[in-house]
Structure 1
Amino acid sequence: MAKPATLPDTQEALPAGTDVQVPLDAALDDLIGYAMRRAQLKLFQTLINQLSSHDLRPAQFSAMAIIDQNPGLMQADLARALSIEPPQVVPLLNKLESRALAVRVRCKPDKRSYGIFLSKTGEALLKELKQIAAQSDIDATSALDPAEREELLRLLKKVYQD
């Protein structure tokens, strides 16, 4: 028979019969990458729920925001901005085009290249989606006060912009 695991010293003084619930993922608590992934999952789930009423996913919203900021950008540039492989951009853009939210326009100098633009419908929807995303962010980080949110954002940018 296997010897039962011993509890850390801080929990050995608990009265007999006390049920101690150690989270199953406690072994990963000290890993920043794990904590960031868990936080990202919570943030994305909140955003996914909000965007679902518009039949959009976070990647599509992100693409729309990037296109809006950079009208006429090429698919390869959009892929780089989204940190995805270029072939993954095609179905994403196909979905946006099928909904008349974005258009690909052939570039004059290079007939093989297309610039990507939001349609008027896409621009109008993006305005609403930005408000939804901002509120979703606030809701998902409600345990933080404004100064903590600002500090977390500053630190996360420091990590990924390095």
Structure 2
Amino acid sequence: MSQAETAELTASDEVEAIDLGNIGRSLGFLLRLSQVEVFGMFYRALSRHEMKPGEFSILYVIHLNPGVRQGALAERLMVKRAQMTKLIRVLEGRGLVARTIPPDNRRIVHLHLTEDGRRFVSENERAFLGYVNQETDRLTPSEADQLTRLLRKFIGLEGTP
């Protein structure tokens, strides 16, 4: 074994040996580390698209719900309204999303995909959603279903499509 491999093994062993104590059983802590792991998978698989997971999620949900109110979308995706406005402006700037404001209620914003947005989702849906299989490749199908079911229950999506 080379000196570099020994040093790497030692560093890996050192990382594994770090005691997390009770924080290693904290749901929030574990969810955060899980998010970092899943986002890493996303970026490794899809970095060529220059899109963040949240941005594609927004496009995809608008694709499924044309005309959705921006505020309702923000609430459903648990994104602060100000942050949703920034995200929509980015997607609008890329020519993927269009906003419409009804003349009778200027406080409401409806969202639609542009033709480019529809094409982008159509051409890339399989790639973006295909990486999802990697998210659970360390679990059995039963474990993956159970984890998904429990997380949906935890965040209040139980019983929704």
TM over 0.5: yes
| C-alpha distance in 2 between matches for 1:125 and 1:26 | 45
Give aligned-pair identity as a percent. Answer: 27
Q: What is the aligned partner in structure 2 of residue 11 from structure 1?
A: none
Tell me which residue corresponds to 2:139. Answer: 144
Helix, strand or coil: the match of 2:152?
Answer: helix
Match of 1:155 in 2: 150
Matched with 1:88 is 83
Out of 150-159 and 24-33, give the one that drifted further: 24-33
CA distance in 1, matches of 2:46, 2:73: 21
Q: Kindly indicate which of the two structures has a greater share of residues assigned to helix.
A: 2
Change (3 A) 1:128 1:38: farther
Is 1:105–1:114's contact at 8 Å kept on the other side of the alignment? yes
Equivalent runs, 1:89-128 vs 2, <5 Å: 89-128=84-123
Structure 1 outlier segments of 4+, above 4 Å: none
- How many matched pairs? 144
1:57 matched to 2:52? The reply is: yes
Q: 2:125 aligns with which of 115, 121, 130?
A: 130
Is there any run of 5+ residues in structure 2 with no aligned partner, and where?
1-12
Q: Distance in 1 between matches of 2:84 and 2:57?
A: 12
How far apart, CA to CA, are the structure 2 residues paired with 1:41 and 1:137? 14
- The one-letter amino acid paired with 2:54 is A
Q: Distance in 2 between matches of 1:111 and 1:33?
A: 38
**2:112 match: secondary structure:** strand
How big is each residue's C-alpha offset from its partner over 1:89-131, in whole Å with a ceiling of 9 and x where there is no partner? 2221111111111101221422443311011221221234432
Go from structure 1 to structure 2 and tell me whether the alpha carbon gap of 1:24 and 1:124 turns closer, same or farther (over 3 Å shift). farther
How far apart are the structure 1 equivalents of 2:128 and 2:70? 24
Q: Quick one: distance in 2 between partners of 1:147 and 1:124?
A: 35
Name the CA shift for 1:51/1:109 in 2 (closer, same or farther; >3 Å): farther
Q: 2:69 aligns with which of 64, 70, 74?
A: 74
Structure-2 change in CA distance of 1:25 and 1:131 (3 Å): farther
